[in-house]
Amino acid sequence: MRKWAALAGILALGGCGQGGQQEAKAPQQQASAAPAPAPQGPQVHIVALGDSLFAGYGLRAEEAYPVRLEAALRTHGVNASVVNAGVSGDTTEDGLARLQFTLSSQAQAPDMVLISLGGNDMLRGLPLDRTKANLDAILGELAKRHIKTVVMGMLAAPNMGPDYAKQFNAIFPALAKKHGAVLVPFFLKPIFGKPALQLPDHIHPTAQGVEAMVGATVDVVKP
């Protein structure tokens, strides 16, 4: 909790990873490459729309969560192709602004979209009603297109105060339920409070941390 409080200001200024010496690039148009041969069966096209937690802040491109998730899915027999559409520093408003372009620019309509947005809204103290409205619009558009969605939930830092945390934390489960999306309650749970799995900012995952996050979510995404 103390780490959250101390780092909230830093990350708010940094936009949850606006930059970084080794930040993985997040091209919206390139599907990540998996090391294993593609399993038999129709290919499943997945787009990972999010912030630095998808973009791979501080990691090599091949260590980013979408790349490692693709590899894990293929190991589990799913012929998955995951496009990394993560952009460090993105808020829910940024994600909504580029949603239409991201979807329309794919060679094939995605079967699934993963959403990891909202952390930067919280760290910057943006109005909660706008965060909720932006996520509502994103999930509503995906539902309208009949695209399956997995929401990577986030929890508020304790220094934001109990009232703010209560309202912020409730956004993700409420909207997932409203739009029939699958919810991962706290995306960072596998690495939270585990320095060996975190970068020096005590928030973003190391390569090993990404593997822990993939391990905790692959069985959610797979079905």
Known catalytic residues are: 52, 201, 204
Strands (E), the chain: 44-50, 80-86, 112-116, 148-152, 182-184
H-helix or E-strand containing 119? helix 119-123
The residue among 73, 89, 76 whose CA lies nearest residue 31 is 73
Strands (E), 38-159: 44-50, 80-86, 112-116, 148-152
Taking the chain, what is the end-to-end CA distance rounded to the nearest angstrom?
A: 34
Contact between 22 and 82 (Cβ < 8 Å): no
